[in-house]
């Protein structure tokens, strides 16, 4: 992983949008629960950040995932995330754009967040617990 050039690293993203879902972490157990509450910058159609290059100006706490910090962050990435799969030594799914050759396959396979998120502007933080979903693949 450390040998990947920046463009190759970025290409691992499958465009599912799951990393842009707000998560709740239990302080005692470290268990992470995904919510259907999406980051304010998530483009719900493309399932990509609408301001990726300058996202930290709007969401300073947005995590910058790198080959150097994946070991610390992988536990809260979805199980289907290519970055997590590669870190864990697992193969990419057939629907991953690098395997299929088409960016739409992630949506066609039903593994993206397209069509079922709500914006963090619509749900107060104190109600996020009510928006917990099963860990998306």
| Residue 82: other Cβ atoms inside 10 A | 21
Q: Is the pTM value of this prediction over 0.75?
A: yes
pLDDT in tens, 14-65: 999 999 999 999 889 988 899 999 999 999 899 999 999 999 999 999 998 9
Contact 4, 97 (CB under 8 A): no
Q: Which residues contact 38 (CB under 8 A, 6 or more apart)?
A: 17, 20, 21, 22, 44, 113, 117, 118, 119, 120
Residue from 121, 122, 116, 127 nearest 36 by CA: 116
């Amino acid at each position: 992983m450390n040998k990947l050039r920046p463009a190759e690293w970025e290409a691992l993203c499958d465009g599912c949008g799951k990393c842009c879902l707000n998560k709740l972490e239990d302080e005692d157990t470290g268990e992470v629960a995904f919510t259907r509450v999406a980051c304010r910058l998530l483009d719900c159609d493309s399932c990509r950040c609408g301001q990726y290059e300058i996202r930290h100006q709007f969401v300073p706490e947005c995590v910058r995932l790198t080959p150097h910090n994946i070991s610390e962050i992988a536990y809260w990435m979805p199980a289907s995330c290519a970055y997590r799969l590669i870190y864990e030594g697992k193969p990419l799914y057939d629907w991953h754009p690098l395997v299929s050759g088409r960016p739409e396959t992630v949506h066609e396979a039903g593994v993206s967040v397209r069509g079922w998120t709500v914006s963090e502007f619509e749900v107060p933080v104190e109600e996020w617990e009510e928006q917990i979903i099963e860990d998306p693949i």
